[in-house]
A and B are shown apart, each in its own frame.
Chain A
């Protein structure tokens, strides 16, 4: 066991972990931040995407020990200071960009990373960027629209007829 310390969603945390403890396990089991989901065991599905030092990272593919001293942001840290949902979260609700909600935390974290890099992505750029996030419910249609809307682009309202 070694002790790791990091900042998670603005708070300093520390814990004792085995060398093999994944960041996803540390967040979920040790810190109780169960918004980060684990949907596969091969780093393909993207449900566990968090930000480590500002970069989108699959929390199942880094060890907790590797994040010692890092700034980590999870889905629980994406709301506004007053507790209301952030712009991307709100757009996902407004444009029905989620159904069962399981892939959603990873989708939101990836979308946030995309918009930080590319503030007004095209549809094709959004689809390409989400290559590492699998959704089984939405067919991606409304996820793409939610991200376009979150970036300030014009998007037709849902179910317009």
Chain B
């Protein structure tokens, strides 16, 4: 029987009621008395020198209350970068300034030049049309290899070149890897592109800044995955506001996928302008602004070499990747192609020698940063593609080649610095083959053939490192932040609980899942537990939600705080029952003395804590409220096997996904319904990357895919019903819930399955195709099959 309560139950989501009845409270739903509206004047060229900004006519327009340019921000800090990478030679990365409003130069289409603040959006836009900017356009650098060629135009004049860093990992392995590849029985080499994506959370970004002169306090309402991080970055590094005078609120947030982790210029602007103008200032992105200001994702160009012995055992992997940073370093951009990518290059396999080289490059494009999976999809894609190619070159079944090399003993220390705690990669592969009915593939392929279609089968595995992250480790790796998580558990006198968490829900269902854990621990109903998140004024300092970390790290903090609550409550119960605390047991919300029928209810103990008439005041304080900060000792390592089956139309090259099966090992699962939903969404994003989505720039740095007419989002009829399974569970060994995280898996594991399937369909029909770069549009597939 499925559970109907506590950990493991598919509880319906309590937050859904407000979302389904139009009562969600998103940032754009917030309107403050007397607020003004800002419209940003943005660069329409990719690179240029600002000669002059003519503001007089705009300033005189109806309703305008203020106009700001870069000059107004000369005394203000730039947007900080939260991660410093050290290059192969021990030098720090090149780190250019990132002004709130452009200072002297513009470096990508969409770079903000001026801000017009007025009494309505319409007035602000009308006035902005009167603002004239004289820009001398400069040549743009768009292609990464051209950007690092000798004599290339520099994105930042003050830097030596457009190379942010040249990173080698593990540098000490370099020579050994070179030797192993030189001497190998077989080497498979593949060059590929991990296409640039635009995250496209459905809610555009919004910021509302407010200032209260009576106590010199600033408030920012913003669409953020991590309000505490924004408070720290913006307060300490940009505007110089101490944290106790700055409140950041991220209310209901309509999806993030990484793009709402970062601190953006518009947030700093609205907070700054609200104080200057002494009125609240609101900005709501138009979608066309989102396309050219939200941090983009992926955009790697990679050459990977896999060395194998005669039996197909992996001997060594060597990669060289160019990673696009865009025009500025977004908050966590340098970490994505390095520590979130290089450390995953072992995949699920025992490869003794690995060397990863990454050249991060500045170009005149929108900054690139973490997007669902962040580095791990790029690692998985190249590895699982090159294995498929190697299997065909060596005449070994692709599943057998993978099994031959699977890590089977845990813990397993990879040659790229991480240690997998648990896993069972054969089990997820077996499960995937079963739920995908691979045994029936040949019959389905024959039926497709009879209907004039080519059917293909693509299989791959993935592993990811999530539950981000051990602070000490990431500190060594260059993070300028800790990555613990926090929770305060407040028990009320009448027994209800409020969990104040530093993590943030923007679709993940924390308000439903977190209470399931506490209900299980205490033995009470979930309805007695409420979750508060998203407001720095009433939650403890936390690092927020990304990297599939909310339950693994934030949930662990909540468990630790609840354990403290239970320990204290047991002491109170022991006093009330005149017994030793060591003899008190808590079950189904009742404290009892072991081996007796003496008991006291949860609510009686909580009441005693706040009405301490009969209470051990000499030993313990009144009240029942505890905080815990949890810093994980390792990442978690979810893994899985994914299988995609496609039909290709040989006349048009159009690919249709007929079935997609995902077998994941997420460790223990708190709410299976939510977990499956996370996988579904990730799969659609991965399939979107594989078949549809591409951020395109022309050679002048104009973004060509800046609307939903030009950027192909997956629609309902682009994806099939998914077959997902999470019954293979090897619980995480180092967090108290044994959970691993599920938010990114679908987006990490699915692109190689799709490409493997399409290449398989073409090869089965006699086409000598090794690889097609994503997205696999009909024209690309048709071109590949027609040589």
A contact set with B: CB distance below 8 Å: 18, 20, 28-29, 33-42, 44-45, 47, 74-76, 78-79, 85, 89, 92-94, 96, 98-105, 108, 123-124, 126-128, 130-131, 133-144, 158-161
Contact = CB atoms under 8 A, between A and B. Distances in A.
Interface centre among A123, A158, A159 (most CB of B within 10 A): A159
A75 B22 contact: yes
Interface string B1-45: 010000000101101111111111010110100000000000000
Interface in B493-510: 506-509
Contacts of B506: 100
Contacts of B677: 96, 99, 137-138, 142
26 contacts: A35-B24, A39-B203, A39-B254, A40-B204, A42-B709, A44-B709, A47-B202, A89-B20, A96-B12, A96-B13, A96-B676, A99-B677, A100-B202, A100-B254, A101-B19, A102-B203, A102-B255, A104-B19, A123-B721, A130-B716, A135-B716, A137-B677, A140-B715, A159-B2, A159-B10, A159-B673
A130 to B, nearest CB: 4
Contacts of A44: 707-709
B286 interface: yes
Given A98-B16, A158-B673, A159-B2, A139 B681 contact: yes
Q: Is the interface of A mostly helix, strand, loop or mixed?
A: loop
B287 interface: yes
Contact of B254 (A74, A102, A142): A102
B722 A139 contact: yes
Given A138-B677, A158-B673, A99 B20 contact: no
A137 B716 CA distance: 12
A134 to B, nearest CB: 5
Contacts of B684: 138-140
A78 B21 contact: yes
Contacts of A33: 22
B257 A136 contact: yes
A56 to B, nearest CB: 15
A96 B708 CA distance: 26
Given A42-B287, A138-B680, A144-B721, A130 B22 contact: no
Contact of B202 (A41, A78, A135, A142): A135
A106 to B, nearest CB: 9
Given A40-B707, A47-B202, A96-B12, 11 more contacts: A35-B22, A42-B707, A76-B23, A78-B22, A89-B21, A92-B16, A96-B674, A101-B20, A102-B254, A123-B721, A139-B685
Contact of B20 (A36, A92, A128): A92
A139 B680 contact: yes
A99 B122 contact: no
Nearest to B121: A25
Nearest to B722: A141
Given A108-B20, A139-B722, A161 B287 contact: no
Contacts of B257: 136
A123 B23 CA distance: 29
A161 B725 contact: yes
A128 to B, nearest CB: 6
Given A40-B287, A139-B683, A144 B122 contact: no
A96 B19 CA distance: 12
Contacts of B507: 99-101, 137
A78 B23 CA distance: 12
B10 A37 contact: no
Contact of A137 (B21, B204, B255, B722): B255
B12 A93 contact: yes
A158 B508 contact: no
Contact of A158 (B10, B21, B252, B678): B10
B255 A99 contact: yes
A35 B716 CA distance: 22
B719 interface: yes
B133 to A, nearest CB: 22
B682 to A, nearest CB: 8
B716 A131 contact: yes
Nearest to A102: B254
A96 B20 contact: no
Given A158-B10, A158-B673, A45 B725 contact: no
Contacts of A94: 12
B20 A104 contact: yes
Contacts of B287: 39-42, 45
A51 to B, nearest CB: 13
Interface centre among A18, A44, A45, A141 (most CB of B within 10 A): A141
